[in-house]
Amino acid sequence: MTRVTQARQQRPEQHPIQVIAHRGASDDAPEHTLAAYRKAIEDGADALECDVRLTADGHLVCVHDRRVNRTSNGRGAVSALELNALAALDFGSWKDRDETESPDWDPVPGELTSVLTLERLLELLVETRAGGRPLQLAIETKHPTRWAGQVEERLLHLLKRFELDAPPPAGSPSPVRVMSFSARSLHRVRDAVPHLPTVYLMQFVSPRLRDGRLPAGARIAGPGMRIVRSHPGYIERLHRAGHRAHVWTVNEPEDVELCVRLGVEAIITNRPKQVLAQLGRS
């Protein structure tokens, strides 16, 4: 019996830990590409995670970095480029193709390299949920940005258009949650749609929040794995304060074990298939 299995059996009252695919199945496919998200769904992820930035012409695209230099063959800030310019770039060839090919996976070539809009990812979410699978999406707004407030405004407009902003049925989770390192961003979201789950992401824990409190507008804590390793007692303090913990980015087996022992509610990982297998859900 593995330590993960033992920990699960010691916490029978808890729901299974949610496995969230970080930028899609980004260990197998180029991050934030449609292929990475299709692979995550195929692998059985409970939810998908994406970062969003606003282009110069007002489109939300799934790109992590402020600039496109690392993940494309182009240069420049996302906020200074229009969608047509981003669509002309290759967002996948930077990743070793040997890592993206496997005998049981045959991605559509264009889906490995094209920039992904949030609109298209929401279409995939709705299509998957319509097929009977309760897939969820965690959307991270990136800050600071030259488009202060407009990112949230455009995001909420898209959620309304896809009918993803309505309160879920009683007892059912929301299909979408919004995450950010910016408490101000989460406050904007909560003001507009009070029932939408919000996750306050943290690279470190500020002294005023060490007792488990969260900023106004945040409902769920999103500590980085480094915090969890260095201060495992922080998870208990969060739980005592009535908050859930969604931990990022959890890729190593020993980190998965630690998260299980501490009773976190969600694991955000580049390797959803491996984590699900370790949790006995493959």
CA distances from 179 to 93, 132, 150, 155, 188 (A): 28, 25, 16, 12, 12
Q: Which amino acid, 256?
A: V
Has residue 100 got a pLDDT over 70?
no
Percent of the chain with pLDDT over 90: 85
At 144 the pLDDT is 73
Has residue 241 got a pLDDT over 90?
yes
Q: How far apart are CA 23 and CA 33, in angstroms?
A: 8
Has residue 133 got a pLDDT over 90?
yes
CATH of the domain at 89: 3.20.20.190
Has residue 99 got a pLDDT over 60?
no
At 105 the pLDDT is 66
Q: How many CA atoms lie within 13 A of 45 on its CB side?
A: 30
* Of 2-6, 165-169, 248-252, the least confident: 2-6
Task: Taking residues 87-92, report their average pLDDT.
Answer: 97
What is the tens place of the pLDDT at every residue in 180-197?
999 999 999 999 999 999
pLDDT band at 85 (very low <50, low <70, confident <90, very high): very high
Q: How far apart are CA 176 and CA 255, in angstroms?
A: 26
- Of 25, 30, 34, 23, nearest to 116 by C-alpha is 34
Residue 29 DSSP class: S
Question: What end-to-end distance do the CA atoms of the chain give, in Å?
Answer: 16
Task: Taking residues 3-21, report their average pLDDT.
Answer: 67
Q: How many CA atoms lie within 13 A of 265 on its CB side?
A: 14
Q: 106 has which bridge partners?
A: none
3-state secondary structure of 54: strand
At 4 the pLDDT is 58
Q: Is the peptide bond before 144 cis (omega within 30 degrees of 0)?
A: yes
Residue 80 DSSP class: G
Catalytic site includes residue 32: no
* Cβ neighbours around 175 below 10 Å, total: 22
Has residue 8 got a pLDDT over 60?
no
R_g of the chain computed on alpha carbons: 18
* Of 18-22, 101-105, 139-143, 147-151, the least confident: 101-105
Structural domain boundaries enclosing 52:
3-278
CA torsion sign for 207, 213, 218, 220 is positive
Has residue 103 got a pLDDT over 50?
no
Task: Taking residues 81-94, report their average pLDDT.
Answer: 96
In this structure, the chain runs to a length of 282
Percent of the chain with pLDDT over 70: 91
Q: 52 has which bridge partners?
A: 141
pLDDT band at 250 (very low <50, low <70, confident <90, very high): very high
Query: Given 22, 32, 243, 246, which residue is catalytic?
Result: 22
Query: Are 247 and 263 a contacting pair, CB within 8 Å?
Result: no
The tally of domains found in the chain comes to 1
What is the tens place of the pLDDT at every residue in 15-29?
799 999 999 999 999
Q: How far apart are CA 91 and CA 114, in angstroms?
A: 6
Higher pLDDT, 217 or 241: 241
Query: Given 32, 59, 64, 243, which residue is catalytic?
Result: 64
State the DSSP H helix or E strand holding residue 87, giving kind and residue range, or none if neither: helix 83-87
Catalytic site includes residue 64: yes
pLDDT band at 282 (very low <50, low <70, confident <90, very high): confident
Q: Backbone phi, then psi, for 200, in 5-degree steps?
A: -90, 110
Q: How far apart are CA 135 and CA 56, in angstroms?
A: 30
Average of per-residue pLDDT values in the chain: 92
Has residue 97 got a pLDDT over 70?
no
* Of 4-8, 83-87, 113-117, the least confident: 4-8
